[in-house]
């Protein structure tokens, strides 16, 4: 079940970001193309907050540019998305990117729908 939820997230995120590339560490996948929005999708083996089956970290400025919105508005969007998820997340000392945790397929689907709406994907 854990793998199914994570793979659902990976598959749905490719609809937004295109191909996601596996991290050399094996801790997850990433999109580092600034024009698409930079993300890291972390697996449970990456040391996630307790209970999470995955966490997605978002780089603010690349998402603001893609959405055609300001950095403050984009930061607020991700803050609200994290609150809506209701899950604590871990922090990476190297990247001060907001993270959203998930525990099931329905949460992944909700996160992806909100992202698509914010970024104007699928209009």
Nearest Cα to Cα of residue 41 among 81, 9, 82: 9
The rounded Cα 113 to chain-centroid distance in angstroms is 12
User: What is the reported pLDDT for 45?
Assistant: 82
Q: How confident is the model at residue 83 (pLDDT cuts 50, 70, 90)?
A: very high
CB 98 within 8 A of CB 82: yes
Domain boundaries, the chain: 2-119
Spatial CA neighbour of 97 closest among 122, 64, 120: 64
pLDDT tens digits, 43-58: 988 889 999 999 999 9
More confident residue, 34 or 109: 109
> Would you state the pLDDT for residue 123?
59
pLDDT tens for each residue of 16-70: 999 999 999 999 999 988 899 999 999 988 889 999 999 999 999 999 999 999 9
Q: pLDDT per residue over 86-108, tens digit each?
A: 999 988 888 889 999 999 999 99
DSSP classification of residue 33:
-
Task: Pull the structure tokens for residue 61.
Answer: 């400025």
Total residues belonging to the chain? 123
């Amino acid at each position: 079940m854990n793998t199914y939820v994570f793979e659902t997230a990976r598959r749905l995120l490719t609809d937004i970001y295109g191909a996601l590339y596996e991290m050399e560490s094996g801790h997850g996948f990433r999109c580092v193309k600034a024009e698409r929005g930079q993300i890291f999708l972390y697996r449970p083996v990456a040391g996630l907050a307790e209970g999470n089956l995955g966490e997605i970290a978002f780089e603010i400025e690349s998402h603001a540019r893609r959405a055609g919105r300001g950095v403050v508005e984009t930061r607020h969007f991700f803050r609200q998305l994290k609150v809506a998820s209701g899950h604590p997340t871990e922090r990476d000392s190297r990247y001060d990117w907001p993270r959203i945790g998930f525990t099931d397929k329905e949460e992944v689907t909700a996160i992806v729908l909100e992202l698509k709406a914010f970024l104007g994907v699928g209009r």
